[in-house]
Amino acid sequence: MRVYFIYHLNLCFSSIEESERKKVINRCYWPLLKIIDKYNVKIGIEATAYTLEVISKLDKKFIEKLKYLIKKKKCEFIGSGYSQIIGPLVPYKLNFFNLKIANNIYKKILDFSPKTALINEQVFAQGILDAYYECNYRNIIIDWDNAFKANNNISAKSLFSSQQIFNLNKKKINLIWSSSILFQKYQRYIHSEISLDEYMNFIYKKVNKNKNFTLCLYCSDLEVMNYRPKRFKTEPNLEKNEWKKFELLIQKLRDDKFKIIIPSETIKLKNPKFKVNLPYLNNATYPSITKKQSKYNITRWSCTGRNDLYINTTCWRIYNSLIKKQIKNYSHWKDLCYLWSSDFRTHITTKRWNKYIIKLKKIEKKFSIKKKPLLSFQSKGKNNNNILIIRDSDKIKIKGKNIELVLDIKKGCSIEKFIDQRLSKNFIFGQVPHGYYDDILYGADFYSGHVVIEPFGTHKITDLKKTNIKIDKKDNFIFITSQLKIEKGNILKIIIFDNLENKVGIYYKINIDQDLIGTIRLNYITLNPNSFKKNLFYETNCGGKNKEKFLVGKNNFDHGSPVSHLVSSNQGLGVTENEIMIGDNKKNIKIEIDRNFDNQTGFISYKKLNNKNLFRLFFSVKEHDDTSKDQRKIKNETLIWISSNLDK
């Protein structure tokens, strides 16, 4: 019976003020090293390179002690990254630099290069393994409970042994499990919510007479040991030295013949009877796997917080500037890794938030990032006057060389039909009318190219209304502009017909002069169910160099369905190289996010209704969860492009 512990050190912890860092080192970090020495117990310690840099400035003796324990193999140091970044939300190169820079710092400070990494916030998508493999990581640690929930082919016994998975280039990587249920139960014991006997009874019940197992008893924050980060009002009071409870646990485990090992030792101790086939872990329903319960999903860091949309948009623009200018200087990439840290996107304190915004704006200014005007299009070919525009009281029909567009004036110029003659005579996406589905739960119109604003506890706001329309023509472009006044705000929408590139753009500018507790979702694309009946999929990058293809049709799911009245969505897509494809093996469309404008998080919804498909893609610029804060005013500006994908 073998168990292991992994303690995560993070001095960028969102709710801990910088003035508290010395206290955290003394109350949380030092006691662990002393216990390792005192009891000769092997422990896994993981830390961001940023955390080690801070500790080096505040307490050099701690670093010396940690180096000594690593050298003597009394503890195992586990890699992280320079910052704790949500891999499936950022581009591959950022993930690569985050790991590469960290490895250089680990070598400099600890004289050690880890081969095992704890996935940041345990947010996993297969694509991020590309960067880990290229940075010489051969073992990764992720949450078992959510992998088990996402995959019917994983047996419960797989928890008791390390496994193997593959990156998108078919390279094997060892998988070491953590467990949300187990680390939460450990915290309850440490925080005196349950007794040692209750805790041990839970462990014995969990292993259920299995022998020769390895089990992770803890893999989470060290800052909750003997300290309270003050994220939640429900945090238990700190009544006594909680490290004494850990010492009692060590003694009890040894008395009961448990062996405490370092995490990577599980690779050598694989038990064949617990082995399962795990080529991939994420899927269409769960494109990103996180730790803990469903409220803890990827939108937590993409479009909630104090203003995740603004800071993520700015980080994307800095990234694009670094790429455009071919910047290779590690110091600039290091700054961007810091700015993209997950901790600034959750329970960050007001004082630290204000300091962060100053740094963000300073770096943005350094790279002279200016937003490109929307109407700065330059025609790439000869002017093409062979664009047919037909307008009546209800519709606008635009027909170009290869594509056709039908807009519904009565419904805010939503897209009724998009046709590409090169793919099909039928429309590819557009409106599915009321009554198409026999299920009364879906007795509604399903539109495309519109916005839905849903304040909690009141009626939704959409732009599906008749408004004044303006049509402009410039070279190979047609611009259809509409404006809508809403309560304390307005929505500007421009549909762009590009006859040269055979694509359609949807531009939104949304201004709301009050805080909105709720969601803002837009750019809905509803596939024509008569054109797409089987072999459906969506394909995009989730933090990796290569796209991940997710087959759709086996299960009904909706990434945008709420977890609870507090948490508005359950999944999301980073679309980290700006493209997502949806369709089937014969025809599909490509949607591109123009990140010169605001960042957007993608969502997929799929349902099979009496042998008829309802397959939709949409985007969000605002979700809601426990990290969300008042923003006073909301200003969103987005642009996407839609075209047929002829590069299959």
Task: Tell me the DSSP string of 528-540.
Answer: -TTT--SSEEEEE
Q: Which two tokens stand for residue 23?
A: 């206290």
Asked whether the predicted pLDDT for residue 141 surpasses 90, the reply is yes
> What band does 210 get if pLDDT is binned at 50, 70 and 90?
confident
One domain for residues 22 and 155:
yes
| Closest CA relative to residue 124, chosen from 184, 52, 173, 186 | 173
Average pLDDT along the chain: 93
In this structure, is residue 374 part of a structural domain?
Answer: no
**Measured between alpha carbons, how far is 431 from 295 in angstroms, rounded to an integer?**
32
Is beta strand 172-178 parallel, antiparallel or unpaired with respect to 139-143? parallel
In the predicted model, what is the mean pLDDT of residues 95-103? 98
| Closest CA relative to residue 461, chosen from 394, 413, 510 | 510
pLDDT at 236: 64
pLDDT at 270: 78
One domain for residues 258 and 332:
no
| Other CB atoms within 10 Å distance of the CB of residue 79 | 26
Q: Which two tokens stand for residue 583?
A: 């369709």
One domain for residues 421 and 506:
yes
pLDDT at 233: 56
Which percentage of the chain shows pLDDT scores above 70?
96
In the predicted model, what is the mean pLDDT of residues 198-203? 96
| Residue 196, H or E segment | helix 196-207
Contact (CB, 8 A) for 522 and 451: yes
C-alpha dist (Å) from residue 451 to 139, 411, 433, 463, 519: 43, 11, 17, 6, 10
Q: Which residues pair with 455 in a beta bridge?
A: 518
In this structure, is residue 203 part of a structural domain?
Answer: yes
pLDDT at 446: 97
Q: Which two tokens stand for residue 598?
A: 């605001």
**Measured between alpha carbons, how far is 556 from 553 in angstroms, rounded to an integer?**
7
pLDDT at 474: 86
One domain for residues 281 and 322:
no
If you compute the radius of gyration of the chain from its CA atoms, what whole number of angstroms results?
26
pLDDT at 247: 97
**Measured between alpha carbons, how far is 347 from 13 in angstroms, rounded to an integer?**
9
Contact (CB, 8 A) for 576 and 521: no
pLDDT at 367: 86
Contact (CB, 8 A) for 144 and 319: no
| Closest CA relative to residue 151, chosen from 544, 555, 574 | 555
Asked whether the predicted pLDDT for residue 16 surpasses 60, the reply is yes
C-alpha dist (Å) from residue 310 to 68, 166, 523, 624: 43, 35, 19, 15
pLDDT at 204: 94
- Total residues belonging to the chain: 648
In the predicted model, what is the mean pLDDT of residues 86-101? 98
Within 341-441, where are the H helices? 350-366
One domain for residues 351 and 411:
no
- Condensed to tens digits (0 to 9), the pLDDT of residues 327-360 reads 989 999 999 999 999 999 999 999 999 999 999 9
**Measured between alpha carbons, how far is 123 from 315 in angstroms, rounded to an integer?**
19
One domain for residues 243 and 358:
no
Instruction: Quote the strand ranges of 170-282, DSSP E.
Output: 172-178, 214-221, 259-260
Q: Which two tokens stand for residue 404?
A: 């056709």
How many structural domains comprise the chain? 3
In this structure, is residue 372 part of a structural domain?
Answer: no
pLDDT at 278: 79
CATH code at position 208:
3.20.110.20
- Determine if residue 475 is left, alpha or beta; phi over 0 gives left, psi from -120 to 50 gives alpha, anything else beta: left
Contact (CB, 8 A) for 433 and 498: no
Asked whether the predicted pLDDT for residue 378 surpasses 80, the reply is no
One domain for residues 151 and 237:
yes
Query: Which residue would you say has higher pLDDT here, 276 or 11?
Result: 11
The dihedral built from the CA positions of residue 629, 633, 637 and 638, taken in this order, carries a sign that is positive
In this structure, is residue 375 part of a structural domain?
Answer: no
Which residue is listed with tokens 């960290």? 102
pLDDT at 385: 64
| Closest CA relative to residue 123, chosen from 375, 249, 302 | 302
pLDDT at 379: 53
Which residue is listed with tokens 């994983």? 154
Pick the last residue of a domain from 277, 301, 325.
301
Asked whether the predicted pLDDT for residue 60 surpasses 90, the reply is yes
> What band does 212 get if pLDDT is binned at 50, 70 and 90?
confident
Which percentage of the chain shows pLDDT scores above 90?
83
Burial class (CB in 10 A: 0-12, 13-18, 19+), 368: exposed
Q: What is the DSSP string of 169-188?
A: T--EEEEEEE-HHHHHHHHH
Which residue is listed with tokens 């987005």? 638
In this structure, is residue 428 part of a structural domain?
Answer: yes
Contact (CB, 8 A) for 362 and 354: no
> What band does 234 get if pLDDT is binned at 50, 70 and 90?
low
One domain for residues 394 and 319:
no
CATH code at position 544:
2.70.98.70
One domain for residues 209 and 150:
yes
**Measured between alpha carbons, how far is 644 from 425 in angstroms, rounded to an integer?**
13
> What band does 238 get if pLDDT is binned at 50, 70 and 90?
low
Burial class (CB in 10 A: 0-12, 13-18, 19+), 511: middle
pLDDT at 1: 86
What does the DSSP 8-state code read for residue 519?
E
Domain span at residue 353? Answer: 308-366
Q: Write a three-state SS string for 437-471.
A: CCCHHHCCCECCCCEEEEECCCCCEECCCCCCEEE
Pick the last residue of a domain from 281, 301, 321.
301
In this structure, is residue 569 part of a structural domain?
Answer: yes
What does the DSSP 8-state code read for residue 121?
G
In the predicted model, what is the mean pLDDT of residues 105-129? 97
One domain for residues 451 and 473:
yes
What does the DSSP 8-state code read for residue 105?
H
In this structure, is residue 377 part of a structural domain?
Answer: no
One domain for residues 285 and 346:
no
One domain for residues 96 and 222:
yes
Contact (CB, 8 A) for 46 and 139: no
What type of residue is 397?
Answer: K
Pick the last residue of a domain from 267, 282, 301.
301
**Measured between alpha carbons, how far is 350 from 362 in angstroms, rounded to an integer?**
18
| 3-state class (DSSP) for residue 281 | coil
In this structure, is residue 379 part of a structural domain?
Answer: no
Is beta strand 588-593 parallel, antiparallel or unpaired with respect to 634-644? antiparallel
